[in-house]
Structure 1
Amino acid sequence: MPSRRGPVAVLALLAVLVTVLATLTTPAAAAASTLNQLAQAQGKYFGSATDNPELSDSAYAAILGGGEFGSTTPGNSMKWDATEPQQNQFSYAQGDAVVDFADAHDMMVRAHTLVWHNQLPNWLTSGNWSATQLTSILQNHIANVAGHYKGEVYSWDVVNEPFNEDGTYRSDLWYNTLGSGYIATALRAARAADPNAKLYINDYNTEGSGAKSDAMYNLVKSLKAQGVPIDGVGFQAHLAVQYGFPSDMQANLQRFADLGVDVAITELDVRMELPADSAKVATQATYYADVTKACMAVARCVGITIWDYTDKYSWVPGTFSGQGSALPWDENLNKKPSVYDAIATALGGSGDGGGGGTANCEVAYSTNDWGSGFTANITVTNQGPAISGWTLKYSYAGDQRLSQGWSGTWSQSGKDVTVTDAGWNGTLATGASTSIGANFAYSGSNTAPTAFTLNGTTCD
């Protein structure tokens, strides 16, 4: 595969009205306009998980790759059932698609996962393997999969979820056949396959102190003492507003860091019992802020990954009946202002109602009006780094009704107008502009729109 690059790009955003061009950035804000830029200013990253079906959603992909996130984690496409569905027959197409997307958008990849008790192919779980045979299978899988992505990923979740809630080892294929030594075997194999990738153990419900967190701590301490290669510990942080917050998270992260390993928040979301209301959302915003603050306060907390960024593709409703609304973007790919601002503020930003602090672009809106109808002319100029794929939304205050549009795909629902790029004008380099237009009919007044959003971000 071709060489792929690392961390980060910036998403351009929009706004302005009537015949005026207005730049919506200040020099200081422009230096840190996205969550990842804010995190980078603190020496960390801010990322989102993804999965292959989502990447076919152009509006979703435009936000994922538009600069808010400096890293991505493939949710399923690097797991065992996807990469070795038949013994010694490897499949990388889905994983390659995620890595290629990340490369194209200057994002790094947290690869996930080499050894887990779940999503194993039938040939593996149905076999009656001896310890020698299973060790060979484990080493061969890691050599092939981690070797395939050698030099292409930032890190691997080498072993995922090895513990029960009481701190005992999970009874599964690996532990039952190989004992706890399978973890050291996997880490050594991963280091041999990709010497430069950071090697992690990842688990949930370890964010605060307790039996499970203590078990992980003791495991990492033992591995370090044995000279087993381990670079980091991942704390999934699948939280819920109804269960309380692990108030000692910062201290817990620090005690792991004091063992000489990196720590990372790897799968963050904050679910709630539906329907959402203002009180639940306020608590959710506080939880997101407190997780972010805990990571920011620990020097070796390298970054935060949310488990996909939008409720549209959240795993929560399908797993926890009656729960959801867990992520900072809603199911329509719009930011939840209070949640987004809570994260941004905890990262050192000012918070601005979900606008991300700046809008690195200009929009000109003008009309040719003949009394019963008009042509709307809109020009978008990108003042930030290149973007690929965009969706523009705005609303009219009167009864303006779309007739036809050009240079984009236009639609209208009530007073709300949506325009997606036409393909040929979906990529805008720094300083580049694209012009779009549409005809509308109306009666009464023809008031200009007062706000635009691009890819779910509301411009001031």
Structure 2
Amino acid sequence: MRTAKLRALRRAAAPRPAVSRAATALTALTALAVAMVGLAAPAHAADPVLRDLATAKGRYYGTAVTTSKLTGTYGAITAAQFNSVTPGNEMKWGSVEPTRGSFNWDGADRLVNFAEANGQKVRGHTLVWHSQMPNWLANGTFSDAELRTIMNEHVTTETTRYKGRIDHWDVVNEPLNEDGTMRASTFYTQLGESYIADAFRSARAADPAAKLYINDYNTDGTGAKSNGMYSLVQRLKAQGVPIDGVGFQGHLILGQLPSTLQANLQRFADLGVDVAITELDIRMTLPATTAQLAQQKDEFKAVTTACLAVTRCKGVTAWGFTDSDSWIPDVFPGQGAATPYDESFQPKPAYYGIAEALGWTGDSGGGGGGGTPTGCAVTYAVPSQWNNGFTAAVTLRNTGSSPVSGWTVRWTWPSGQSVTSAWNATVTQSGTQVAAVNAAHNAAIPAGGSVDFGFNGGWSGANTAPTAFTLNGAACTTS
């Protein structure tokens, strides 16, 4: 993904110092996601909506995405849960200008269009970076004047295309070494530090309304590299460079959250710039244990809390919301589980930690909105089957002594079935994993009560019934 950066991250791996929107609004938001991607978001009915909670706090909570995946469940969660999106790769130089003067905007356009359709901010990432440059630039030979012209023209062209549509730009990405000195990139080696000022001025001229950031990793706590960034920002401001903010990537290791994070954010804010956490993930040694996931929840919560405590911290962006789209396992063998959702798009404890930091006070147990029941029973029947299709009827019974408010029933298909349509529940599927979430009218199940839902599905070879169901994370008896 990011070869130069990843090598540096490996070197740096040693220890280093309101309630979600009302049901009607949530329904409207989900409907918007359905219109965009064809599936309802598999959020649990009473679970928090991060974008709503963040908005209530005057912040954004965003995610980096792979634009080609913005369909199905992936796209639905992106639309429903986040109020800011960052392209993982689609706006980088090598993606948009693979040949000098010839631009490919397909991926970037899709992302911006998706964001606008779903009322989301866009964080443009990134205009000038030493990595993922096109071959013609990385291996070309240019005079200093020509290289400066090439850089300024690229910044101007890309920023102009999205004028008025990008809220924040990472104008210059990762300009520093680990000791806080300037990285010997192609741009710095030939042009010196002035390349940064030129890039910012070109971006400002092309889009005066966009907020312009400098962005780097391993600057989250106080230390040599963050001190180097602090001095760089001071110099840029003294030169009148139009720098609006500093991005702190936040690629963290479980158990190594910098204790000085909040103080570090604050000292940059005191320079007169905005700050943001731009690429948050917290990796751990696999397989993830219950204790590790609980600690990860605390650390996602702590990072979010630190941002909220600094008035000029504008928001937090997770570098991917699901473990199925995380870069960590490919780069750090044996490590992963770094994001708020698991590989099956189910929220992990970290997701609830974020929500709690943003003010949510609901249950954060097994993932269902109404907590974990003390007893449940599921009756599954197939009243009709034909060719390669079937109709299923499900009765969910609360056999406990307390009511359930908001439910999610999960099961695994034993023989490759698929759900095509449903009633009295929103049913989503990822591989063989299925989740059925209550409708607005049947969210409450009194003690001893029951609800019914059903669906049509497809099958081939066999249509074996599921053998196990859970209700809000608790196992149910099955008949």
Q: What's the counterpart of residue 294 of structure 1?
A: 306
- Structure 2 Cα separation of the partners of residues 123 and 183 of structure 1: 21
Q: What's the counterpart of residue 244 of structure 2?
A: 231
Q: Summarize deviations over 1:132-180 as a string: whole Å, max 9, x none.
A: 1111001100111111111111110000000000011111101100011
Match status 1:113 vs 2:126: yes
Q: What's the counterpart of residue 50 of structure 1?
A: 65
Match status 1:346 vs 2:357: yes
- Structure 2 Cα separation of the partners of residues 113 and 155 of structure 1: 10
CA distance 1:37–1:443, change in 2 (3 Å): closer
Q: What's the counterpart of residue 59 of structure 1?
A: 73
Match status 1:303 vs 2:318: no
- Structure 1 Cα separation of the partners of residues 231 and 155 of structure 2: 25
- Structure 2 Cα separation of the partners of residues 87 and 313 of structure 1: 30
Q: What's the counterpart of residue 140 of structure 1?
A: 153
Q: What's the counterpart of residue 211 of structure 1?
A: 224
Please list, as runs of the form range in 1=range in 2, the aligned pairs for 1:320-399 lying within 5 A after superposition.
Answer: 320-336=332-348, 338-353=349-364, 355=367, 376=392, 394-395=409-410
Aligned CA RMSD, in angstroms, stands at 3.8
- Structure 2 Cα separation of the partners of residues 147 and 320 of structure 1: 37
- Structure 2 Cα separation of the partners of residues 254 and 133 of structure 1: 39
Q: Is the 8 A contact 1:317 1:324 kept in 2?
A: yes
Q: Is the 8 A contact 1:73 1:111 kept in 2?
A: yes
Q: What's the counterpart of residue 446 of structure 2?
A: none
Q: Is the 8 A contact 1:404 1:410 kept in 2?
A: no
Q: Secondary structure, in 3 states, of the residue corresponding to 1:199?
A: strand
Q: What's the counterpart of residue 386 of structure 1?
A: none
Q: What's the counterpart of residue 39 of structure 1?
A: 54
Q: What's the counterpart of residue 106 of structure 2?
A: 93
CA distance 1:332–1:128, change in 2 (3 Å): same
Instruction: State the 1:33 CA deviation.
Output: 3.5
Q: What's the counterpart of residue 267 of structure 1?
A: 279
What letter matches 1:61 in structure 2?
Answer: G
Q: What's the counterpart of residue 407 of structure 1?
A: 421
Q: Summarize deviations over 1:197-255 as a string: whole Å, max 9, x none.
A: 0000000010100111011111111111211101110000000115x110011010001
Q: TM-score if structure 1 supplies the norm length?
A: 0.76
- Structure 1 Cα separation of the partners of residues 384 and 237 of structure 2: 77
Instruction: State the 1:438 CA deviation.
Output: 5.7
- Structure 1 Cα separation of the partners of residues 418 and 91 of structure 2: 44
* Of 253, 258, 280, the match for 2:292: 280
CA distance 1:255–1:413, change in 2 (3 Å): closer
Q: Is the 8 A contact 1:274 1:322 kept in 2?
A: yes
Q: Summarize deviations over 1:362-388 as a string: whole Å, max 9, x none.
A: xxx99888799x954589xxxxxxxxx
Q: Is the 8 A contact 2:124 2:168 kept in 1?
A: yes
Q: Secondary structure, in 3 states, of the residue corresponding to 1:65?
A: helix
What letter matches 1:72 in structure 2?
Answer: V
69-78 or 313-322: bigger deviation? 313-322
Q: Which runs of 5+ in 1 are unaligned?
A: 1-7, 14-23, 360-364, 380-391, 421-433, 454-460
CA distance 1:256–1:410, change in 2 (3 Å): closer
Q: Summarize deviations over 1:251-286 as a string: whole Å, max 9, x none.
A: 100011111111000000000111211222222112
Q: What's the counterpart of residue 21 of structure 1?
A: none
Q: TM-score if structure 2 supplies the norm length?
A: 0.73
Higher relative contact order (CA 8 A, sep 6+): 1
CA distance 1:371–1:41, change in 2 (3 Å): closer
Q: What's the counterpart of residue 427 of structure 1?
A: none
- Structure 2 Cα separation of the partners of residues 412 and 320 of structure 1: 26
Instruction: State the 1:84 CA deviation.
Output: 1.0
CA distance 1:450–1:168, change in 2 (3 Å): closer
274-283 or 307-316: bigger deviation? 274-283
Q: Secondary structure, in 3 states, of the residue corresponding to 1:183?
A: helix
Q: Secondary structure, in 3 states, of the residue corresponding to 2:171?
A: strand
Q: Which runs of 5+ in 2 are unaligned?
A: 1-25, 34-43, 372-377, 396-406, 438-452, 474-479
- Structure 2 Cα separation of the partners of residues 413 and 194 of structure 1: 43
- Structure 1 Cα separation of the partners of residues 296 and 63 of structure 2: 18
Match status 1:221 vs 2:234: yes
CA distance 1:370–1:300, change in 2 (3 Å): closer
403-412 or 191-200: bigger deviation? 403-412
CA distance 1:352–1:91, change in 2 (3 Å): same
- Structure 2 Cα separation of the partners of residues 164 and 131 of structure 1: 22
Q: Summarize deviations over 1:28-73 as a string: whole Å, max 9, x none.
A: x8xx931111111110010100012322x4111111112x100000
Q: Summarize deviations over 1:409-446 as a string: whole Å, max 9, x none.
A: 998999x65689xxxxxxxxxxxxx98446999999x9
What letter matches 1:62 in structure 2?
Answer: A
- Structure 2 Cα separation of the partners of residues 299 and 347 of structure 1: 14
Q: Summarize deviations over 1:297-350 as a string: whole Å, max 9, x none.
A: 0010000000010000101111112111100100111111x2111111111111
